[in-house]
Amino acid sequence: MASNELSIWFNSIPQITKYWFTGSVILPLLGRFGIVNSYYLVLDALLTLKHFQIWRPITALFYFPISPRTGFHFLLNLYFMYNYSSQLESGHFVGRRADYLFMLIFNWACLVLVGLCTDLMLLMDPMVLSVLYVWCQLNRDVIVSFWFGTRFKAMYLPWVLFGFNFILGSGGIFDLLGIVVGHLYYFLAFKYPQDFGGPALLRTPGFLLRLLPNTRVMGGFGAPPPARRRDGGDDDAAIPRPRGWGTGHRLGD
C-alpha cells in the first residue's frame, strides 16, 4: 500500500522536475555510501577545462554532500526543488516543457560560468534558489508563511531565506548567487520585454521545441504571466516548519 502511494506521488511529479529531483536524490546517496567518489562529482575549473572532465558541470548540479550536519539542509533543498519547480512547470509553464527546460539550462549555464571563475563547486543551492526566485516573481502577491508564524509576500521570500541562512552560517552567498541568476532570467524573459518594450532576448532553441513540442497554445516566451484569479489557480506555497506550519493564502482571501 505504502509503495503504491509512493509510486503514485512520484508519477505525479511533472516530467522535467521529476528528472531533476531523481538525480538530486540518487547522486548524493551514491556519494554518501561511497559507491561513487564525491571528488569526481564536484565542479573544478582546472579538471574541467584542462583535463576535459566535462561531466563535472552536470554532476555538480545534482550532487550535495550528505552528513549529519548537512542532512537537514539537503532535505530542505529537495523540498524547495520539488515544490517550486513543480509549481512552475505545472503552472506558468504548463504545456511548455521545452520553455521550462530552457529556463533551467539558462540558469545552470550561468552558474557554471560563475563556478568556473570562482571556487563554487556545488550548484544545487543556487540553482534551487534561482528557480524559487522566478516562482516568487511570478507570484509576487501570494502570502507565504515562514518560521515563528511570520507571513509576508512571496516576493520577499528569497531575501528572507538569504538572511536566514546567512545568520545561521549555513549558506548566504550561494543563496545570493541564486537570486542574482534568477533575477537575470526573469529580467530578460519578462521584465525587459514588458516594462521596457524591448525584444524577447531569451528564446527557446528549436531543437528543444522539437524534442519537447508544446502541448498548449501560449503567447510569446516573453509574454506577461497570466493574471491570477482570486478564486482559483495554483496552490499557495508555504515553507516547511517543524510545528504548526500553515499553508499560504492569497491576498484578498
CATH number of the domain that residue 166 is part of: 1.20.1540
| Residue 21 falls inside a structural domain | yes
Say how many C-beta atoms besides its own lie within 10 A of residue 251's C-beta. Answer: 10
| Residue 252 falls inside a structural domain | no
The DSSP line for 16-69 is HHHHHHHHHHHHHHHHHTTSS-GGGTS--HHHHHTS--TTHHHHHHH-----TT
Give residue 5's region: left, alpha or beta (phi > 0; psi -120 to 50): alpha
Cα torsion for 241, 244, 247, 253, to the nearest 10°? Answer: -140
pLDDT at 52: 93
| Residue 53 falls inside a structural domain | yes
pLDDT at 171: 62
Name the 3-class secondary structure at 153: strand
| Residue 61 falls inside a structural domain | yes
Q: pTM higher than 0.75, yes or no?
A: yes
Between these two residues, 186 and 5, which has the higher pLDDT value? 186
| Residue 234 falls inside a structural domain | no
Name the 3-class secondary structure at 166: helix
The domain of 160 spans 2-224
User: Per residue in 94-130, pLDDT tens?
Assistant: 999 999 999 999 999 999 999 999 989 999 999 999 9
| Residue 239 falls inside a structural domain | no
User: Per residue in 7-66, pLDDT tens?
Assistant: 999 999 999 999 999 999 999 999 999 999 999 999 999 999 999 999 999 999 999 999
**Residues 61 and 131: beta-carbon distance below 8 Å:** no
| Residue 45 falls inside a structural domain | yes
Number of domains in the chain: 1
| Residue 187 falls inside a structural domain | yes
Order of all β-strands in the sheet with 151-153: 151-153, 142-145, 249-250
pLDDT at 32: 94
